[in-house]
Structure 1
Amino acid sequence: MTLLEQLEITQEIAKLKTEKNAVILAHNYQVPEVQDIADFVGDSLGLSQAAAQTDAEIIVFCGVHFMAETASILCPEQRVLLPDLEAGCSLAAMIDAEQLRQWKAEHSDAVVVSYVNTTAEVKAESDYCCTSANALKIIQAIPPEQEILFLPDMFLGAYLEKVTGRKMHIWPGECHVHAGIHPREIDAMHAIHPEAELLIHPECGCSTSCMYYQATGDSKGKVHILSTEGMIQHARRSLAKEFIVATEVGIVHRLQKEMTDKTFYPASERAICQYMKKITLEKVWISLQEEIYEVRVPEPTASKARRAIERMLALA
């Protein structure tokens, strides 16, 4: 796509937004040109909450399918469009509702805590949802004698066990992008940029080794395990001028755009989510123009899933 074509589509999207009373949400991992035309850029739950505060009739969610479902759950009176229905999530696909019901049957007294990166049907089978930003608060709020089933990310689960000292049953799932970021890549980047702070997402397979590095004192306060929004907030506050970012590479665009006086390096250039990258500027335009493809969570699934999300928000 040429710059002229991109400009023309951007102008068409702006016009359609006004005509249709629409709002565009873009996840931190979206391609730069999609982030740049969004009304809100952020993490999945925060975007849905922001949309719920608007009077928009149409929500165009530039993210993946479970995120559009969450928006539908929290904004039942609004139409939620996903520009590409094939924008899925490898982590959300790691467990379905039937698998969760079977797991619950094996642990009938357990409390189920589901990461927000799950389908609406899985959320509906859960007691609490959590995000990477508030998962620690959710686990700490549950009585220590209570058995917990945590799903679906095993690295976030292992991280929570380490920081709380609490044993949980953890589903063996992973995000293929975060699991692919290797400790040796972190070490190599540190060698090249020794003064940089490391911002690492708890879904990363190297989060446990980074926690050890943190605990030994060798890091000198330079290692921070954070959600995507936590990375944005920390970078704004920090006096550091360089950062190594261990998560999907799309977030580097927002970081660099908002903090031009600082430099951000992706921990791995390979950390690219093929599903996030399915959303393009042209697809956003077509979705809004033709009002396709709608994602709606039916009842009673929506109400049950909303209950798990509301319980999370009450605690965190």
Structure 2
Amino acid sequence: MSDDLRDSCSGPDITPVCDAASAVPERHAHSHGVRPGANVRWLWLGLGLLTAYLVAEVVVALLARSLALLSDAGHLLTDVGSLAVALWAIRLAARPARGAMTYGWKRAEILSAAGNAATLLVVGLIVLIEAVRRLVHPPHVDAAPVLITALVGIGVNIVVAWAVARADRSSLNVEGAYQHILTDLFGFLATAAAAVVILATGWQRADAVASLVLVVLMFRSGLTLARQSSRILLEAAPPGVRISDIREHLLRVDHVRDVHDLHVWTVTSDDHALSAHVVVDEGCFADSHAPQLLDALQACLHEHFDIGHSSLQLEPPTHAAHETAIH
């Protein structure tokens, strides 16, 4: 903080922790959330490959009577859907803010991630029920075409996973689609292993066991995505960000007496926002140095907590009597 600000505002000096006033960074210079140019072409490539393979896999699964292959085809269908929804969400999120949509459509990607989580859990539950039934009454599985299809599927999913991984996975929307594809890759590995076991030993229940492995992977990915997306939709503080740490940093800036009504939340992936009431020395308003103090506070939030959107209400100590709800 500058010497002019320190000298002109009344109240005791507080040694600042954030040296942001002398070199305020360019806020909003870094981008947040969905980055369409970094995502679209890779997602379209993955969508095209998966759609073509899905048709072939369903045909082989029905002819071979393989639950593992058919369940993986069902999961592959959710992969196709997740990529299609991800592309749709990217297009929505690129729309500018207008009218009642003051943040634009950025949250569309979070809704997409929540949808991916729901489909993983629902498909996993359906496969779980059928796998248990087949463990009790195992049907005959023609393992040779299952093995060939699974091996081809492994190759296709490796290419698709590579393509989607090159997109911006800091977007929860893209990460959700990636988790779908990664789970499907492991599912193909389990299916191939089951086919090998059936060919080598004739143990038909290996197909159902492979399906159960896929169920575990679906539930794991689905629950993780559900937890991450629900935190954002419920406007919880970003992971790793403690309100007490933010308050402590702000209180260490010179002439800040109190911080209340402090809220921090995530608008969309990597796009955090904060609002707070900051009580400062009365003299900061009298000598017109409040704008410099505001710059210091916002720079502190940007540098230490990567919060690029902050709304701070500076108040004199006497304003507390007019507050109706302080928390």
More strand by share: 1
Q: Choose 1 or 2 for highest CA Rg.
A: 2
Instruction: Give the TM-score range, shorter chain.
Output: under 0.3
Greater helix share, 1 or 2? Answer: 2
